[in-house]
């Protein structure tokens, strides 16, 4: 070691013209050294990376919120679908009940001659007069009139 603090290379003495690359760029461009350019590029890359990361996080939050809204909508649609299925089963059960009433209980739909429509003023004119041998019987018309008069 020499007094300057640099090791002495006795085999290959350093040429007086060999210099560091940074010193060559500094000598050649006189203003900007390569290290400054590299540091500026690294700083720019770090800032760009931070901005892109923030944008991606923001996009993730927006997509996650949209996903949660879609899941809520899916649950609402599933509830609506279940309600409609129950309603459909209810409407399909009506013909089943009617067919079982006919087959198992012997019920039938009444015909026009089996139906009797009672109207307050019209029924009295079409009612049969009471026969002489059954004075205690009432007709449907007199029942309807009595009910109308009692109210």
Can you tell me the mean pLDDT for 38-58?
Answer: 96
83 against 122, higher pLDDT: 83
Comparing 23-32, 41-50, 109-118, which segment has the lowest mean pLDDT?
23-32
Torsion angle of C-alpha atoms 29, 31, 34, 37, degrees rounded to 10: -130
31 against 52, higher pLDDT: 52
pLDDT at 81 > cutoff 90: yes
As a whole number, the mean pLDDT across the chain is: 76
pLDDT at 21 > cutoff 80: no
Dump pLDDT digits (tens) for 90-149: 877 777 888 888 888 888 888 888 888 888 876 555 555 554 444 444 444 444 444 444
Buried b (16+ CB within 10 A) or exposed e, 129-146: eeeeeeeeeeeebeebbe
* Stated pTM of the model: 0.40
User: What percent of the chain lies above the pLDDT cut of 90?
Assistant: 31
| Best CA proximity match to 119, nearest among 97, 143, 103 | 143
Q: DSSP of 29-96, one letter per residue? A: HSS--HHHHHHHHHHHHHHHHHHHHHHHHHHHHHHHHHHHHHHHHHHHHHHHHHHHHHHHHHHHHHHH
Eight-state DSSP code of residue 8: P
Rg, Å, the chain Cα set: 52
Lookup: tokens for 105: 């209980």
Lookup: tokens for 109: 């739909």
Highest mean pLDDT among 26-35, 51-60, 100-109: 51-60
Residue 51: its pLDDT value, please?
Answer: 98
């Amino acid at each position: 070691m020499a007094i300057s603090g640099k090791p002495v290379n006795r085999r290959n003495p350093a040429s007086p013209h060999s210099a560091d690359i940074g010193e060559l760029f500094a000598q050649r461009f006189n203003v900007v050294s390569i290290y400054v350019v590299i540091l500026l590029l690294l700083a720019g890359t770090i800032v760009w990376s931070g901005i892109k990361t923030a944008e991606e996080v923001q996009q993730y939050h927006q997509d996650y919120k949209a996903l949660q809204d879609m899941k809520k909508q899916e649950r609402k649609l599933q509830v609506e679908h279940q309600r409609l299925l129950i309603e459909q089963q209810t409407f399909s059960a009506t013909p089943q009940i009617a067919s079982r009433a006919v087959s198992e209980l012997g019920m039938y739909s009444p015909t026009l001659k089996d139906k009797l429509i009672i109207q307050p003023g019209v029924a009295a004119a079409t009612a049969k007069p009471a026969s002489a041998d059954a004075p205690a019987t009432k007709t449907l018309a007199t029942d309807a009139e009595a009910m109308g008069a009692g109210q």
